[in-house]
């Protein structure tokens, strides 16, 4: 695999950034990777595990001379970070991000990108419930999708180069406009996360079911909810506040569907339930056929594996 960028700067050193660092190193995709995190403890851990070629103590130092700058921080602080690093950005460099929301990030970050610097927002659809610099692993992006959301008029070569990097990391790459991205993610990620948080919260509130029973007798469905609900709270708070309109639209639709299912159960309408579950089952089949999951029944036996 050939080098795509001379120097890559990773700002924020959580799961995505640490996985990018290991995958870049594995593939020889950059000559040097610099890293920065606001937390001194995170920087200390990153140095201990040899995460990047250089861990810097300021964001300005990390981005200086970088050909690609990757913003790997919660979407709520990306605008503030972009303003901070703008004076040190190299002419001709590309700035990208890994945020789960795109219209709001473009609105926050775009105004701070200097003339002559390219801005190509991105979103790798990969992750686990773990966070922090120790959580990363080089294989995270393999056969996962990365969506690039370049604003109109973005330099085609800057887009093509970033595409080559993500393909080198193992990802499939597609392009999408920001509003459509945010609606798609509200369906596939944001609303399901909110529902998982709610279901786990409901279990916590049901005092007739003890905490020990919830933990001991968790069937697969509830266990999957708890995995999702264990995701980083700061990141998800910012996602919902930044993608408010699309998430509320999908939650409205979800509420309508839930009422229809409640009515079917109340009225004993087995035909409606069977037809509905048959239709939803087909979506699972499609996900497996697309190679985005496996039909192997592990029932938690893979617990602890990356």
Question: Given pLDDT bands bounded at 50, 70 and 90, which one contains residue 31?
Answer: very high
**C-alpha distance from residue 270 to each of 87, 185, 265, 267, 276 (Å):** 64, 32, 8, 9, 10
**In whole numbers, what is the pLDDT of the chain averaged over residues?**
91
pLDDT score of 26? 96
Residues 17 and 69 in one domain: yes
Average pLDDT over residues 256-277: 95
With CA atoms as reference, report the closest residue to 300 among 215, 217, 220: 220
pLDDT of residue 115: 96
If one counts the domains in the chain, the total is 2
Alpha-carbon distance of 222 to 214, in angstroms, equals 9
Same domain, 120 and 92: yes
Q: First CA to last CA across the chain, in angstroms? A: 24
pLDDT of 116 over the 70 cut: yes
What CA–CA distances, in Å, run from 285 to 291, 292, 295? 10, 10, 9
Which position has the higher pLDDT, 214 or 270?
Answer: 270
Q: Is residue 18 scored above 60 in pLDDT? A: yes
Single out the residue in 150, 176, 202 at which a domain terminates.
Answer: 176
Distance of CA 233 to the CA centre of its chain: 13
124 in the same domain as 77: yes
Whole-prediction pTM value? 0.85
Domain co-membership, 275 together with 186 = yes
- pLDDT average, residue stretch 78-92: 97
- Domain shared by 116 and 246, yes or no: no
pLDDT score at 291: 83
Mean predicted confidence (pLDDT) in 57-70? 98
- Dihedral of CA atoms 251, 225, 240, 113 in degrees, nearest 10, equals -130
Cα 33 from Cα 6, distance rounded (Å): 9
DSSP state of 70: E
pLDDT of residue 211: 67
Task: Dump pLDDT digits (tens) for 227-255.
Answer: 888 888 888 899 999 999 999 999 999 99
Task: Read off the tokens for 299.
Answer: 């029932």
pLDDT in tens, 174-209: 999 999 999 999 998 899 899 988 888 887 776 666
Query: Cα(304)–Cα(135) distance, rounded to whole angstroms?
Result: 12
Give the pLDDT of residue 306.
Answer: 41
Which domain range does residue 149 map to? 5-176
Domain with residue 45: its CATH number is 3.40.50.720
% of the chain beyond a pLDDT of 90: 74
Residue 305 has pLDDT above 70, yes or no: no
Same domain flag for 156 and 194 = no
Query: Is residue 58 over pLDDT 70?
Result: yes
> What confidence score (pLDDT) does residue 301 get?
45
CA dihedral 249, 250, 255, 258 (to 10 degrees): 160
* Residues 183-216: b if buried by 16+ CB within 10 A, e if exposed: bebbeebbbebbbbbebbeebeeeeeeeeeeeee
CA distances from 287 to 41, 72, 95, 169 (A): 39, 27, 32, 22
Last residue of a domain, one of 176, 201, 234: 176
């Amino acid at each position: 695999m050939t080098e795509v960028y001379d120097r890559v700067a990773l700002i924020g050193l959580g799961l995505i950034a640490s996985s990018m660092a290991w995958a870049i190193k594995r593939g020889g995709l950059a000559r040097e990777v610099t890293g920065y995190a606001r937390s001194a403890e995170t920087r200390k851990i990153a140095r201990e595990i040899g995460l990047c070629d250089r861990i810097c103590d300021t964001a300005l130092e990390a981005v200086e001379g970088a050909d690609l700058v990757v913003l790997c921080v919660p979407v709520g602080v990306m605008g503030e970070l972009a303003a901070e690093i703008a004076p040190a950005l190299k002419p001709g460099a590309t700035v990208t991000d890994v945020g789960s929301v795109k219209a709001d990030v473009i609105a926050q970050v775009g105004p701070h990108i200097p003339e002559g610097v390219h801005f190509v927002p991105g979103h790798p659809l990969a992750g686990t419930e773990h966070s922090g610099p120790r959580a990363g692993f080089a294989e995270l992006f393999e056969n996962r999708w990365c969506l690039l959301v370049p604003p109109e008029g973005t330099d085609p070569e800057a887009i093509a180069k970033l595409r080559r990097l993500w393909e080198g990391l193992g990802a499939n790459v597609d392009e999408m406009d920001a509003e459509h991205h945010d609606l798609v993610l509200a369906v596939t990620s944001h609303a399901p996360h909110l529902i998982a948080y709610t279901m786990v919260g409901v279990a916590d509130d049901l005092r007739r079911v003890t905490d020990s029973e919830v933990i001991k007798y968790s069937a697969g469905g509830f266990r999957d909810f708890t995995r999702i609900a264990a995701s980083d709270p700061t990141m998800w708070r910012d996602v919902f506040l930044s993608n408010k309109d699309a998430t509320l639209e999908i939650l409205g639709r979800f509420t309508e569907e839930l009422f229809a299912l409640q009515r079917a159960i109340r009225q004993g309408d087995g035909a409606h339930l069977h037809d509905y579950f048959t239709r939803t089952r087909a979506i699972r089949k499609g996900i497996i056929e697309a190679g985005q999951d496996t039909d192997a029944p592990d029932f938690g036996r893979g617990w602890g594996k990356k």
